[in-house]
Amino acid sequence: MKPQARATLVFVVIAVMAGISSCAAGVITYVRVVLEGCSLVDKWAWVAIPVLIAFATFLFRWLHSFVGGDTDLLGSRTTFLVSLMVLFSLSAWFILPNMTGAIDRGRQKRTMADMRTVGMALADYRDSHGVYPQMNDPRELQQELTGYLRALPTHDGWHNPFVFHMSSTSYTLVSWGKCGQPDIPSSLECPPGTTADFRADIVYSDGKFARWPQGIQAN
C-alpha cells in the first residue's frame, strides 16, 4: 500500500472513530438526563446528539480532505457515517425513554411499598404505646421501632432520603420523588390527590396515601 493511501486510511479510521465517539457522547448525555435530569435545561439535552453529529461530520470531512481524499468517495463515506450515527441516535430516542420509564416505575413501586411497611410498624407501635414515636430523625426512629421493624427504610427508590413528620397522634412520610426536591416548601401543605409525574411528591399519612401516582407517569 502506498504511503499516501496508508495515511488516508489512518485518517479515515480516526475520523470514523471520532464521529461515533461524538455521537455516543451525545447519546450518553441524553441517557443520563433521562435517568437523572431534573432541571428545565435538562429537557434540551437531546440537542447534544445532533450538535455532536454535525461536529463529527465536519471533522470527518476535514480529515478526509486534509489527506487529499477522493471527492466522490468522501461523499459516500460521509453519507454512510451520518446514516450510522442517525440510526444510533434514533434508537436512543425511541427505546431509552421506555426503558427508563420502566425503571422509574419500579422505583416508584418500591418507594410506596417501603412507605406502607413503615406505616404498619408505626401502627403496631401505637397499638402498644398508645401514641406514635415523636422523633423525625431516622436513626432515632429506627431505635424506637426496634422490635416492630427489622430495618427502617431511610431512602426512597431514587436513593433520596425520606422525610418524616412525627407527632404523638399522627405521622406523615414523604418522598420527594425522582428529583429529591419538594413540590412546595412544606410537604405537609401539598395538595392531596393523584399525580402523573415521577418528580412529584409522594405523601403517606396515618396509614393511607394522601398524594400518590396514578396512571401513566411522565419525566
Parallel/antiparallel/unpaired status of strands 202-205 and 193-197: unpaired
Which pLDDT score, from 0 to 100, does residue 187 have? 65
Question: What gap in Å lies between CA 51 and CA 45, rounded to an integer?
Answer: 10
Which pLDDT score, from 0 to 100, does residue 36 have? 59
Least confident stretch, 6-20, 121-135, 160-174: 6-20
Domain boundaries, the chain: 3-101, 104-218
104-218 in CATH: which number?
A: 3.30.700
Beta carbons within 10 angstroms of residue 183's beta carbon: 20
CB 17 within 8 A of CB 83: no
CB 88 within 8 A of CB 22: no
Which pLDDT score, from 0 to 100, does residue 189 have? 73
Which pLDDT score, from 0 to 100, does residue 215 have? 79
Residue 13, amino acid: V
Give, in degrees to the nearest 5, the angle at Cα 218 between 187 and 36: 75
Beta carbons within 10 angstroms of residue 58's beta carbon: 12
Parallel/antiparallel/unpaired status of strands 193-197 and 163-166: unpaired
Which pLDDT score, from 0 to 100, does residue 47 have? 65
pLDDT in tens, 155-208: 999 889 999 999 999 999 999 998 888 888 776 677 888 998 888 899 999 999
Using the predicted structure, report yes or no on whether residue 5 has a pLDDT greater than 60.
Answer: no
Least confident stretch, 91-95, 107-111, 128-132: 91-95
* Overall average pLDDT of the 74-88 stretch: 65
Which pLDDT score, from 0 to 100, does residue 34 have? 59
pTM: 0.67
What average pLDDT does the structure give for the chain? 77
* Overall average pLDDT of the 120-141 stretch: 94
